[in-house]
Structure formats: C-alpha cells, structure tokens
A and B are shown apart, each in its own frame.
Chain A
Amino acid sequence: MPSTPSMPETGTAEPVLEVRDLAKHYPLTRGVLVKRRIGAVRAVDTVSFALRRGETLGIVGESGCGKSTVAKLLVSLERPTAGTIHYRGEDIAGLSGRALRAVRRNIQMVFQDPYTSLNPRMTVGDIIGEPFEIHPEVAPKGDRRRTVQDLLDVVGLNPEHINRYPHQFSGGQRQRIGIARGLALRPEIIVADEPVSALDVSVQAQVVNLMEGLQDEFNLSYIFIAHDLSVVRHISDRVAVMYLGRFAETGTGREIYDHPTHPYTQALLSAVPVPDPGARTRRERILLTGDVPSPANPPSGCRFRTRCWKAQERCAAEVPVLAVPPGLAGAAAHASACHFAEERAEVSA
C-alpha cells in the first residue's frame, strides 16, 4: 500500500494521536453455508493524520464516505485491515484485553443519536457512572455519586436529576448526558460522530458552545465528524474532506473553506445553502452529476474522477497523492489530492 504523507500540522503542541495508512475493508461474501469471498467494501482506504493536544480536527464528507468507520477504528470498535494508530507512541491498532482497556479510557466517543445511545432502562446516574464499573481506579466507589453529580453540573444539567431516566429529558439534554458519559473517565481525546445533527437548530448552538467550553476547560482534543460543513467550520482548527474512503483535501479551516483547491471540496462548498437571500446571485453553484460510486468497486486512479468536470486520462491511470500541489502559494498551498489542483476564486464561500 502506498504511503501517504500525514496532514500538515499547525501549532506547537505534540501530537496525541497519529494515524498512518489506516484502512478498513469489509469482506463481501456470497453463499449461505459455504461463504465465498467475492470482494470487499473499501470503507476506509489509506487515511493518515495527526491530532494535537487541545485541537479539533473536523472530518467532513457525504454519507458513505467512511467518516463514521474512521471514528469506530479510532475507539477500537472495529479492527483496521491495515495501518497504525499511535497513541502516546504506542500502536493501539493491535491491542486487546487489559492493554486495550487502558487505552480506551483516554479515547472516548460521543454518538450521533441521543435517543438510541442511552439505555432507556437505566437512570442518568447509572449511565454516566457505568464507565467507573470498568475503570474503578478513576473514581473510588464511595465517591461515585458525587463525581456523577459534578459531571452533570459540568455539562449544564441539574445534579438533582441524577435519578431520572433518559425519556424525561429533551434531545439537547440527552446529548449533554452522552457528553457527560464521554467525559467521565477524563479522557484526552473525544471522538464525536455527528454529535449535533439530530438536534434542532436552536439547540445545536447550545451543544456546540458546550463542547467548545469543555475543550478549553479540560484541554481535550476532538475528532469532530459531521456532514454539516458550517458546523465543522465553526468548531474545527483543521479540516479533512473525505470522499469514498480517502481524504481529498486537508488544511486549516481558512485554507479549506476560503481557498479550496480540490474540485470535490469546491463543489461541496458551493452546494451548501447559505441563510442569506442575497447570496444566491453572488455565489456560483457547481452542480455535480450522478451519485457517489460504490465503495465496493471504486473508480481507478482518482476516486472523484467519475463526477469531476476536470477529469482527464491521467486521473483514471494515476492515484493522486495527498500532498501540497506544486505551484500553489499562500493559503492555497495545503494538501490536496488532485492532479489539477487550483483555486477557483468565485467558489470560495
């Protein structure tokens, strides 16, 4: 597998997580009794990045691009087919048992749907306190109730509601409970998979603000996965745009949103509706044709070429590397996996 360079790094803090050539292929089988392997869904295919302490890395992409699979790989809910995930210098991709449990304490997850990710038959206190059953060293038994109440307070819920059940809370409050559970073990990294997309607009802002506040308070590093480009821009230091299992373009928020060089990023940004009626005349819209190809049978070369207006023969033959394209300067000089990467002044939002 070709090695791709990791993302350009900003800031000076040391990386807490380094991912190199990560891949996850799900086998496709046929037959009931004798299962024959007929192919694989390449959900994630050689993705590399580094996450620094206290920063937020946003991963955006459309449904099926593999962003949720990346999340599952990072918290070891899935085993990678290939590649390494280094946490504090140790490859955690192959760990199991006690060693894995120790690492998991530091990498926690917040799920998308606050209606299904909380057990309806457990009280809020039991839900948030459950991590302590597995990691008793974090909170001694006698102290747990108070620790849970502190956590409720931290996420802006009433500590007296510790004995209530999830159905007694609204969607936004449930997501706060999910965040409190993620915080319980005082992790260094939180992987949030679409944490606000199930919430109403007026409640989304509350949860985004809460996550930003907690990050400052506990010096957390976030992997923030979402399909909503506006929310990702707001919360992220660096952004990776994902398409069909690979990163198409990576850079700081300003580089990606104001100076995109990959055609897919440009099309994606131009398609985002903006709440400003005057904008419809100012912004040019790139309408992509067709749908995302199946990850079981991705196009050769560049994966975006089947929908790209710039595609040439070279795009079918040669896989573009995620690197800073030569000849680009300033904010446009960031990693972009396109043979013909260039800025389009009129599409930068």
Chain B
Amino acid sequence: MAARLLDVRDLRVEFRTRDGIAEAVGGVSYAVEAGQTLAVLGESGSGKSVTAQAIMGILDSPPGRITGGQVLFQGRDLLTMGAEERRRIRGAALAMIFQDALSALNPVIPVGAQLAEMYEVHRGMSRKDARGRAVELMDRVRIPAAGQRAGDYPHQFSGGMRQRIMIAMAMALEPDLIIADEPTTALDVTVQAQVMELLAELRREYAMGLVLITHDLGVVADVADTIAVMYAGRIVETAPVRDLYRRPAHPYTRGLLDSVPRVDHGGGQARRGHGEHGRHGSHGGHRGGKLYAIKGAPPSPLALPPGCPFHPRCPRAQEVCRVERPPLYEVSAAGEGPASGTAPASGTAPAAGGRTSACHFWKDELDALDAVNA
C-alpha cells in the first residue's frame, strides 16, 4: 500500500503552565487517505485544535511542546524536517482554514493582495499575474464581482464571504490536504450550508484530503467519511461515519449523540437505554421530553483522572476503569471476538473502514445498544 496522505502516530503535546504540566494531547493517532474526509469531533479542551496546530507546525511554543510521536505527510515526518523544507510544504501541499476569518486575515492589506502573495512567494509569479490569479480564485469561491472586490479589506466583507476568502487562500496552490478548524462555527446556518457545500465541491474537484475539526455532530454527519472522537486529549473512538452514528462503541460518543436535540424529531424523541440510567420517561408537559445529559463536565488537562479519563462521567464505569487506562481496542463486527476487547491496536490509526474504541467495555456497549434497538 502506498504511504497514506497524512498519518499521525502517537502524537503527544504538553503545555507547561504555572500550575503544572497540562497534557493537551496524549498519544493521538489518525490517518487520512487522498480524497477522503476525516472529521475530528470533540468538545472545547479535547485537544482537537492543538493536534492540528502541531501538524501544521504553528503550535505556540513555549508554552506548547511536542513530546513524542510522528506526523507522516506523504510518508515523510514533518516533525523531524528542517524549517525551510517544512515551509515549502505548508501552503503548497498542506493548508489550513481557521475558524475566525476576521482575525486570520490581515486587516490592513486588501484581500486580493493577500491571495496574490501565495502565488508570488510560492510560485514566483509577477505581481500582475498573481493579481489576475487572485481574482480568478475569488471568482471560483463565488464572491460576486470579484474583480472589483479584490481591492476591499477584510472588514468590508460579511462573515460568510470572509470565510470564502479563507477557503480561497487555502485552495490557492491546490494542496493535497486541507485542515479546516471549525470552518463554519461562527456562521449562521444558511451561510454555513453554503460554505460547507463549497468546501465539499472543491474537495471533490481537486481530490484533496480534508481534516474537518468540529464540535457539531450535524455538520460531520453530512460530509465525513471517517470520524475520530476526541476526549481529554485522546481519541476515544474511530469509525466510518455510518457505524459511528448507528452503533457507537464508546459511552462518550453515545452520550453525545443522545444529548443533542434533533430538529427533525418532534416530541417523544427516540431514546436509547443508557446503562444503569435506563430509559428516561417523558417529562411532565414538556415538548421534547427530558434530554439525556452526560453528568459532570470535561476534566481539566492539568488533572486528568487516573484510568479512563471519562470514568467519572460514565454510566458504565467499573473498578477497572478507575485503575487501568483503556488502550484503543479494535472493534470487530458483532458476534465475533472475545467478550471484552481483542488485541489492543498499536500506535497507528486503523485501516480505512476499521474501527477502534478506547473503552474496556465496548463490546457490552454495542450489545446493550443492539438489545435496545432489537
């Protein structure tokens, strides 16, 4: 098999703070093939953005520090590469889209000039040619009257248009992989739909790989091929998108899925049994009934609980969860393998279509789900 487009192996990042060492990323492995979309799903503080910053080489250090792991991009380790070599790859082959376009764009330079700079620096084009390409690019991301607007400054564009300019900048040199960090979180739903559609269309057209970082379970369902769920700096589950939504193999994933109200479900939203919490009855007089809620709050990265970091919030937690940190188990098809877990997966991401779960009781979790659905 040819080298994967991006293969992150056992990446570790820590932050040295006055209050101690925070383990922001504790051994993350994920992989993206060419033309595929990997969604990294997690709440704030789960380490999803820090992982992306480490891959791009834009981690603030100090206080951040990469303490281990490899980031293989087209077979070559970005972390051991020289700064100049890495700079040539970044922008040309590997680009990033940020959440907040207003602070990611330079406020005192017209957007056309900012886009043109990509061609001047990386392709050595003349200023005039580069300008021409910049306008073409703005047209490509469907900014109306691109020729006239190239001279405008970022603050003169609306939020959705600014995000299009960010996308244009990332696409400029037709990279092989784009990392998009919450690209639509700051946008309204109707604009969000436009921007996601554009991103998906461009990805198909150029057959790029895409890493989509988000906290929104809805956005991910529409565009991802594979999903990696992060919690407290670790990946707790990796699965093809349909499997993850239909049969989550980690209690955290399942809790997340059950705690979001659905716009397409009215009253009496279908509830799945939750460990010893059992079914929640309908709530007196209320429209959608009581939502399932994961108890507690995510842990501080300065003081991660021992064992499984999710155990204080987990309805399935047993003694072993408090003591032993679960490795990423390979999740096999239902009915196969031993009662609880097979051989732990090593520090690499599963092959395409494979599944992993960092829960000692992933098998029980799946069985309980099947029992409820049956």
Contacts and interface: CB of A to CB of B under 8 A. Distances in A.
Given A208-B261, A274-B264, A201 B190 contact: no
Most chain A CB within 10 A, of B190, B197, B259, B266, is at B190
A163 B269 CA distance: 40
A96 interface: no
Nearest to B41: A201
B203 to A, nearest CB: 15
A271 B189 contact: yes
A234 B193 contact: no
Interface residues of B, number: 53
B194 A273 contact: no
A344 interface: no
Nearest to A271: B193
Nearest to A54: B285
Nearest to A349: B264
A271 B221 contact: no
B257 interface: yes
Most chain A CB within 10 A, of B191, B241, B255, B283, is at B191
Interface in A156-177: 170-173
A267 to B, nearest CB: 6
B249 to A, nearest CB: 16
A143 interface: no
A230 B219 CA distance: 13
Most chain A CB within 10 A, of B43, B158, B297, is at B297
B122 interface: no
B242 interface: yes
Interface string B168-207: 0000000000000000000011111110110000000000
Contacts of A276: 221, 245, 262, 264
B290 interface: yes
Contacts of A258: 266
Interface string B221-254: 1100000000000000000011001000000000
A253 B266 contact: yes
B241 A200 contact: no
Contact of B266 (A171, A229, A233, A290): A233
Q: Is the interface on chain A under 10, 10 to 19, 20 to 34, or 35 or more residues? A: 35 or more
A291 B160 contact: yes
Nearest to A283: B264
Given A229-B189, A257-B266, A212 B221 contact: no
A202 interface: yes
B291 A205 contact: yes
B221 A275 contact: yes
A55 to B, nearest CB: 10
Most chain B CB within 10 A, of A206, A237, A253, A277, is at A277
Contacts of A208: 261, 291
A269 interface: yes
B216 A273 contact: yes
B263 A287 contact: no
Contact of B260 (A230, A237, A290): A230
Contact of A227 (B188, B216, B284, B291): B188
A216 B284 contact: yes
A203 interface: yes
Contacts of B192: 271, 273
A187 B95 CA distance: 52
A279 interface: yes
Interface in A215-267: 216, 227, 229-231, 233-237, 253-254, 257-258, 267
A275 B257 contact: yes
Q: Is the interface of A mostly helix, strand, loop or mixed?
A: helix
B290 A209 contact: yes
A1 B2 CA distance: 70
B285 A216 contact: yes
Most chain A CB within 10 A, of B220, B242, B283, B293, is at B293
B262 A275 contact: yes
Nearest to B192: A271
Given A202-B256, A275-B221, A233 B261 contact: yes
A279 B259 CA distance: 18
Nearest to A207: B293
Given A205-B292, A288-B190, A275 B245 contact: yes
A202 B221 contact: no
Contacts of A212: 283, 286, 290
A181 to B, nearest CB: 20
Contacts of A279: 221, 264
B217 interface: yes
Given A273-B218, A288-B194, A233 B188 contact: no
Contacts of A231: 261
Contacts of B283: 212
Interface string B134-169: 000000000010000000000000101100000000
A95 interface: no
A235 B290 CA distance: 10
Interface string B277-292: 0000001111110111
B44 interface: yes
Contacts of A201: 43, 215, 217, 256, 259-260
B293 A287 contact: no
A253 to B, nearest CB: 6
A233 B263 contact: yes
B317 interface: no
8 shortest A-B CB distances, which residue pairs? A273-B218, A234-B261, A234-B288, A62-B188, A205-B293, A205-B259, A271-B193, A275-B217
Given A254-B266, A258-B266, A290-B144, 4 more contacts: A62-B190, A205-B259, A227-B189, A230-B262
9 contacts: A202-B313, A205-B294, A206-B293, A231-B261, A234-B269, A270-B193, A272-B189, A276-B221, A291-B158
